Amino acid sequence: MGRGKRNSVTIRDVARAANVSVATVSRYINGTAPVSKAVAERIEKVMAELNYVPHATARRLATNKTYTIGLLLSDISGDFFAPLLSGVEETARRYGYDLLISAARAPSNRAKDLPLGPHNCDGILVFTTSIEDEILRFLVQRNFPVVLIHRTPPPGIHVPCVTVENKAASFQIVKHLIEVHHRQRIVFLRGPEDHEDSYWRERGYREALESHNIPVDEDLIGMGGFARRTAYTAILDLIKRGVPFDGVFSGDDEAAVGVLIALREAGIRVPEEVSVVGFDDQRMSPFLSPPLTTVRAPTRDVGRVATEQLVRLIRGEEVEPLTLLPTEIVIRRSCGCAPDIPFTWEEPLTP
């Protein structure tokens, strides 16, 4: 049986369909010179319609580039990362880049120990604190393209970042527990200490309590680590110490799983006795028992936008210093609402 035909679409076909010259398409693909936004969008659309993928080997020889981008992660466990990786991979492929992933934290603050960098990539995406600030500063000083994900750059380092709105959404979901379900003693479980997402979610939690004249009880703030086991242990510890509570903001959906298991083992009914809410709206969240009320974060879009920003940096184009993607609350049973109760914002989610 003969082999299937290879894609016969050429750069000339793309140029003809986009109504531009071959040289313009070549400049856009190889990033050797800027093209207007309108022309770039037209070329991208045609390439997608014709399923045109530039020949990687020829591009490398012509431009002395790897046409590879890197993604640095300190961890890859849990359901959170699947949509993020999907957004990065699909966008990288759309722009004709290969993707290298390292899921181990850099062992030191020496740039030569970095698994991904100028030696094998044209630019890298950095998730939260996957590299030390010293290495980040080293890369930026050498004009190596870097985009941060779910963190802002350290002072004095100008690197674009892509993240989601955390504080306003956290404020609103805690406000919902207070005003709709009359919860007064709400636990907040922090994420890892070095995660900015956790910091802003805690700020939203605290401000929601303060706006309702509810004192912040530090006994109700614990470590959930964005991890099932850590959150499970934290809730059992509160129960064993006899600390009363009637609601839990778990910090994220991964931690919410541990919270629900701990409460079930202790014979505490959710949501009748304790309301539980999370953050992220992971794929498992609608299927938990009870289904989890949470904040929906556009994790896939974070990966997509961050990759688009990195490609623009590699091509020498201007990028946004901060991209803050919107979030929204998803109401399910775990807070105490019936499944068909709608939720509407009283105010827009703004940083």
- Residue 77 to residue 260: CA distance in whole angstroms: 19
Q: Is residue 6 part of a domain?
A: no
Among candidates 213, 252, 250, 258, which has minimal Cα distance to 233?
A: 258
Same domain? For 311 and 271 the reply is no
Looking at residues 60-66, what average pLDDT do you find? Answer: 60
Q: Is residue 346 part of a domain?
A: no
Q: Is residue 18 part of a domain?
A: yes
Q: What is the pLDDT of residue 22?
A: 86
Same domain? For 155 and 47 the reply is no
Same domain? For 129 and 174 the reply is no
Same domain? For 18 and 105 the reply is no
- Read off the pTM: 0.78
Same domain? For 53 and 93 the reply is no
Q: Is residue 288 part of a domain?
A: yes
Same domain? For 28 and 139 the reply is no
- DSSP helix/strand/coil, 100: strand
Q: Is residue 24 part of a domain?
A: yes
Same domain? For 192 and 284 the reply is yes
Q: What is the pLDDT of residue 218?
A: 97
Residue 197: CA atoms inside 13 Å, Cβ hemisphere, count? 26
Same domain? For 198 and 309 the reply is no
Q: Is residue 2 part of a domain?
A: no
- 255-314 residue pLDDT tens: 999 999 999 999 999 999 999 999 999 999 999 999 999 999 999 999 999 999 999 999
Residue 172: CA atoms inside 13 Å, Cβ hemisphere, count? 24
Domain count, the chain: 3
Same domain? For 209 and 270 the reply is yes
Q: Which amino acid is at 265?
A: E
* Poorest-pLDDT segment among 55-64, 96-105, 277-286: 55-64
- Residue 152 to residue 197: CA distance in whole angstroms: 10
Share of the chain above pLDDT 90, in %: 64
- Residue 346 to residue 351: CA distance in whole angstroms: 15
Q: What is the domain extent for residue 23?
A: 11-63
Q: Is residue 345 part of a domain?
A: no
Q: What is the pLDDT of residue 345?
A: 46
- Residue 167 to residue 180: CA distance in whole angstroms: 20
CATH code where residue 273 lies: 3.40.50.2300
Q: What is the pLDDT of residue 348?
A: 41
Same domain? For 50 and 117 the reply is no
- 161-207 residue pLDDT tens: 999 999 999 999 999 999 999 999 999 999 998 899 999 999 999 99
Same domain? For 278 and 218 the reply is yes
Same domain? For 158 and 304 the reply is yes
